[in-house]
Amino acid sequence: MARRALGHATLTLVQAVETALADSDRCLLVACSGGPDSLALAQAVVHVGRRRQLPIAAVVVDHGLQAGSAEQAAAASSSLARMGFTQVSVRPVEVIDSGAGPEGDARTARYRALELEAGERGGATVLLGHTRDDQAETVLLGLARGSGIRSLAGMAVRNGPDGRWLRPLLGIGRKVTEQACRENGLKPWQDPHNLDPAYARVRVRRTVLPMLEAELGPGVADALARTAMLARDDADLLDALAAEADPGTAALDCLQLESLPPALRRRMLARWLRLEHGLGDLSAGHLFAVDALLTDWHGQSGVDLPGGVRVRRANGGLHLG
């Protein structure tokens, strides 16, 4: 029997997945919450996997953060099985309070589970259902934090260990994934957390972006997504230049750093703090305070950073202790 022709939205998602894949992607693992974005992505992956004769699998992460989460994870698993996935895993995780906030802690637990699942499947490529709207929200949140160009770069289409995380839908709006669900008779789950204004991302999604669209005209989400792409190119270049200039020493030479342009100097400081002491999530205030040890040195005793780390200037160098 002939297969039913794909609807316009579904075809758009299939083409996006096809375009994003590389020859090194030998096994496709869809991370599915049961929401419209990840369900629509999973449906597209079924078509791509069949055409390319690639093994496909799916994983549902149960964060256990609300009543009925196990039942919802089981329902998502059943939807995936009906869709054509023969290998579906449900991974319960424990979300540990690390001080990063509920969203950050849940994300940490989720990515750890996805990495374990991908490893058990021979290093599968993990496909994530983030859309252009998610990218626009991420850029606005980064802008509000004021933490530099890297935070404006949003999410990469591909990143993570060995390029394992793949986000093929970053150029596609959420309305398309919702339409794809309707075309395929899929009944997505609506996470109640996505309606809770206690979360900053929800306020951006439901209040800030609609207000910007109303006041500035349509296309704001598209413009923010383009901003992310341009900012990522700039941030990647600065990261590469900082890596080339890195002396590879435990202490940094103050005179050498002072001669560098501010953007490169601060990128080198951020790289040094990350590599030497794992400080990857510094605020702009912390970074400026360390930079002042070079540009506004008047005998300060040092700068205290998270985790009990202290940066001090002594003998013409910056030292961590």
DSSP output for 44-77: HHHHHHHHHT--EEEEEEE---STTHHHHHHHHH
- Taking residues 191-201, report their average pLDDT: 87
Domains 8-216 and 246-320 agree in fold: no
At 275, list the tokens: 């590599």
Mean pLDDT of the chain: 92
pLDDT at 277: 67
What are the domain boundaries of the chain? 8-216, 246-320
The tens digit of pLDDT for each residue in 204-249 reads: 999 999 999 999 999 999 999 999 999 999 999 999 999 999 888 8
CB 254 within 8 A of CB 294: yes
CB 44 within 8 A of CB 13: yes
C-alpha closest to that of 55 among 130, 6, 118: 118
Homologous superfamily of the 8-216 domain (CATH): HUPs (3.40.50.620)
Buried b (16+ CB within 10 A) or exposed e, 23-44: eebebbbbbbbbbbbbbbbbbb
The tens digit of pLDDT for each residue in 87-115 reads: 999 999 998 887 777 788 889 999 999 99
Q: Which residues are annotated as a binding site?
A: 33-38
The tens digit of pLDDT for each residue in 154-171 reads: 999 999 888 999 999 999
Tell me which architecture the domain covering 246-320 has in CATH: 2-Layer Sandwich (3.30)
CA distance 81 to 86: 6
CA distance 79 to 99: 35
Q: Which residues are annotated as a binding site for ATP?
A: 33-38
